[in-house]
């Protein structure tokens, strides 16, 4: 695969190491990563610097969680041979790019990111009026742009972060993508596409720049993605030239929208450590059973003979995740007619959750017994990530006049 297609198929995603992973992480993020790992060139990282933005006062938890989180990822089905797994702080290029991008990012862009105010409201017990917290969406932009990722898997609530990343990349390319003799170099690059494609590119560019034909722009981009013979620099020039601008040094990523996790917590709220309603990925079977048995149910079912309403019961929400149609039918009828008791209703769920977590727990035990293997996986991933990050940063420094050769 050529470099440009590889870039557009590159995915970057991270997770903060702030405690044990639970079923919410598994259903909300990891199952999606597992699906993506064979379809894309995936870079998954432990976001330890991001964890510091909210946990700078209790950073101990970060250190404790890093390796456990990697074990959970692999135990859940992430294959180290298929993806690059790494630790953010071991790829310091993220920090340098963050610093450089901070020079061109208006403070108002960061202040208007919706999660900035939301998180301060939600996490009132923490002092989040810090420079680091304001800047964390820009650090995320650097995390993505340093790999020139084409796609970023996000939920609806994170779309604004991808939008910020796109704006920052656009601004960067606008300011620093202008090279001397840009047009001459772009015209020379067009010729390298071969007669037929060069003509097609020029016509499509004309249709977009002169008539604003958005379809022509899209077709031209697709045409460029398929050009095996172009060097990366030429390809970047031609992507920029299409829109009349300069060289595209930091390509704008697209959001790969992932459905919101339906994983409810044990109390019916979203599963989250801060609500104390989780089942961890390595929860022993007895603890799983106890937690599910203690789950609250429809409060109208005081006695076994009282009929209930699954729509008012958090246990039903778990059935929606774990049960097939026949089982759901059994719950609906049994609950509404008082044909089953709540403990009967919870039984199949205990079995399903235990069955889901058993292989994960066993793999995690094996991995925990060989910590050196886990460390080696991360060291290899750090190196693979740095190799890509270094290339981007070399080009960024050169564009900004900081290469001092």
Interface residues with ligand SF4 (CB under 6 A) are 297-298, 301, 308, 310, 313, 315-316, 331, 335, 340, 342, 345
Closest CB to ligand SF4 among residues 247, 319 = 319
Q: Under 8 Å CB-to-CB from 318, ≥6 apart: which residues?
A: 264, 292, 295, 349, 353
- How many other C-beta atoms are found inside a 10 Å radius of the C-beta of residue 191? 9
* Shortest distance, position 331 Cβ to ligand SF4, whole Å: 5
* Shortest distance, position 272 Cβ to ligand SF4, whole Å: 21
Q: Under 8 Å CB-to-CB from 259, ≥6 apart: which residues?
A: 155
Closest CB to ligand SF4 among residues 336, 390 = 336
Q: 171 is written with which tokens?
A: 């601004």
- In the numeric block, the tokens 């440009």 are attached to 4
* Shortest distance, position 263 Cβ to ligand SF4, whole Å: 17
- Rounded to whole angstroms, the Cα distance separating 43 from 5 reads 16
Closest CB to ligand SF4 among residues 29, 289 = 289
b/e burial code for range 238-251 (CB count within 10 A of at least 16 → b):
bbbbbbeebbbbbb
- Rounded to whole angstroms, the Cα distance separating 178 from 340 reads 71
Closest CB to ligand SF4 among residues 36, 315 = 315
- Rounded to whole angstroms, the Cα distance separating 85 from 17 reads 14
* Shortest distance, position 349 Cβ to ligand SF4, whole Å: 9
Closest CB to ligand SF4 among residues 328, 386 = 328
* Shortest distance, position 333 Cβ to ligand SF4, whole Å: 10
* Shortest distance, position 103 Cβ to ligand SF4, whole Å: 56
Q: Helix-strand-coil percent breakdown of the chain, rounded to 5?
A: 65, 5, 30
* Shortest distance, position 271 Cβ to ligand SF4, whole Å: 18
Closest CB to ligand SF4 among residues 190, 315 = 315
Sheet of strand 151-154: strand arrangement: 84-87, 41-46, 10-15, 151-154, 254-257
Is there a contact between 65 and 19 (Cβ–Cβ < 8 Å)?
yes
- Rounded to whole angstroms, the Cα distance separating 328 from 348 reads 11
Q: What Å distances lie between residue 4 and 236, 252, 373, CA to CA?
A: 9, 13, 33
Rg (CA), the chain: 25
Closest CB to ligand SF4 among residues 311, 366 = 311
Closest CB to ligand SF4 among residues 176, 316 = 316
- Rounded to whole angstroms, the Cα distance separating 131 from 228 reads 44
* Shortest distance, position 31 Cβ to ligand SF4, whole Å: 25
């Amino acid at each position: 695969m050529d470099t440009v297609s590889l870039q557009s198929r590159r995915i970057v995603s991270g997770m903060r190491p702030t405690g044990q992973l639970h079923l919410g992480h598994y259903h909300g993020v990891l199952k999606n990563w597992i699906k993506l790992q064979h379809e894309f060139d995936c870079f998954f990282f432990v976001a330890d610097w991001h964890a510091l933005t909210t946990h700078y006062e209790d950073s101990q938890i970060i250190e404790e969680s890093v390796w456990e989180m990697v074990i959970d990822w692999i135990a859940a089905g992430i294959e180290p041979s298929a993806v690059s797994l790494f630790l953010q702080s071991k790829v310091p290029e993220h920090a340098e790019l963050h610093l450089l991008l901070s020079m061109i990012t208006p403070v108002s862009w960061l202040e208007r990111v919706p999660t900035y105010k939301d998180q301060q409201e939600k996490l009132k017990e923490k002092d989040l009026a810090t420079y680091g917290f304001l800047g964390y969406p820009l650090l995320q932009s650097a995390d993505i742009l340093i790999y020139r990722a084409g796609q970023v898997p996000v939920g609806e609530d994170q779309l604004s972060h991808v939008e910020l990343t796109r704006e920052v990349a656009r601004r960067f390319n606008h300011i620093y993508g202008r090279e001397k003799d840009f047009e001459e170099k772009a015209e020379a690059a067009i010729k390298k596409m071969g007669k037929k494609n060069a003509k097609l590119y020029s016509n499509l560019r004309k249709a977009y720049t002169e008539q604003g034909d958005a379809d022509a722009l899209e077709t031209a981009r697709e045409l460029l993605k398929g050009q095996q013979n172009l060097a990366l620099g030429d390809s970047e020039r031609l992507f920029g030239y299409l829109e009349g601008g300069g060289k595209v040094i930091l390509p704008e990523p697209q959001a790969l929208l992932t459905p919101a996790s339906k994983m409810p917590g044990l109390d019916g709220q979203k599963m989250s450590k801060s609500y104390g309603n989780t089942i961890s990925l390595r929860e022993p079977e007895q603890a799983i059973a106890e937690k599910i048995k203690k789950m609250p149910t429809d409060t109208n079912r005081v006695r076994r003979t009282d009929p209930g309403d699954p729509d008012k019961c958090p246990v039903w929400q778990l059935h929606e995740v774990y049960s097939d149609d026949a089982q759901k039918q059994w719950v609906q009828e049994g609950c509404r007619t008082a044909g089953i008791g709540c403990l009967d209703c919870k039984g199949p769920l205990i079995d399903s959750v235990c069955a889901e977590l058993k292989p994960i727990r066993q793999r995690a035990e094996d991995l925990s017994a060989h910590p050196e293997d886990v460390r080696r996986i991360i060291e290899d991933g750090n190196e693979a990530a740095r190799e890509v990050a270094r290339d981007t940063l070399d080009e960024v420094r050169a564009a900004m006049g900081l290469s001092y050769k």
